[in-house]
Amino acid sequence: MSNQTKAYFFAGITILFWSTVATAFKLALSEQSGLQVLTIASITSTLLLFFYLLFTNQTGSLIKTTRKELLYSAFLGLINPFLYYLLLFKAYNNLPAQVAQPLNMIWPIVLVLISIPLLGQKITLKSIIALLISFGGIILVSSQGAGEEFRTEQIPYMLLAVSTSVIWALFWILNMKDKRNESLKLFLNFLFSSIYLLIVLRVRGEPFPGNPKNILLDVYIGLFEMGLAFLFWLKALQFSKTTDKISNLVFIFPFISLIFIHYIVGEKIHLTTIYGLLLVVTGILLQRVSLNTEK
The more confidently predicted of residues 90 and 109 is: 90
Tell me how many helices (H) and strands (E) the chain has: 15, 0
Average pLDDT, the chain: 84
| Average pLDDT for 102-117 | 75
Q: Report how far residue 66's alpha carbon sits from residue 93's, in angstroms, rounded to the nearest whole number.
A: 39
Supply the pTM of this predicted model: 0.85
Looking at residue 242, its pLDDT comes to 65
Whether 29 shows a pLDDT value over 80: the answer reads: yes
238-270 per-position pLDDT tens digit: 887 766 667 667 778 888 888 999 899 988 888
What is the C-alpha separation between 26 and 119, in angstroms, rounded?
Answer: 36
pLDDT above 70 (res 295) = no
Residue 230 is predicted with a pLDDT of 84
Q: What pLDDT shows up at residue 280? A: 80
Residue 102, pLDDT score: 83
Under the banding of pLDDT at 50, 70 and 90, the label for residue 191 is very high
Closest Cα partner for 28 from 221, 227, 201, 210? 221
Classify 146 as helix, strand or coil.
coil
Contact criterion met (CB below 8 Å) for 163 and 89: no
Comparing 72-81, 89-98, 234-243, the range with the smallest average pLDDT is 234-243
Q: Is residue 219 very low, low, confident or very high in pLDDT (cuts 50, 70, 90)?
A: very high
Cα dihedral value 11, 21, 82, 135, nearest 10: 80
Give the whole-angstrom CA distance, residue 227 versus residue 50: 10
Which of 30-39, 93-102, 236-245 shows the highest mean pLDDT? 30-39
Q: Is the pLDDT of residue 110 over 60?
A: yes
Q: Where residue 107 falls among pLDDT bands split at 50, 70, 90?
A: confident
d(CA 161, CA 70): 29
The mean pLDDT value for 22-46 works out to: 94
Residues near 79 by beta carbon (within 8 Å), at least 6 away in sequence: 167, 170, 171, 174
Structure confidence by residue, pLDDT tens digits, 131-178: 778 777 777 776 666 555 556 777 888 889 889 988 988 888 888 788
- pLDDT band per the 50, 70, 90 thresholds, residue 222: very high
pLDDT of residue 128: 75
If pLDDT is split at 50, 70 and 90, which confidence band does 193 have?
very high
3-state secondary structure of 28: helix
User: For residues 188 and 53, what is the distance between their CA atoms, to the nearest angstrom?
Assistant: 11
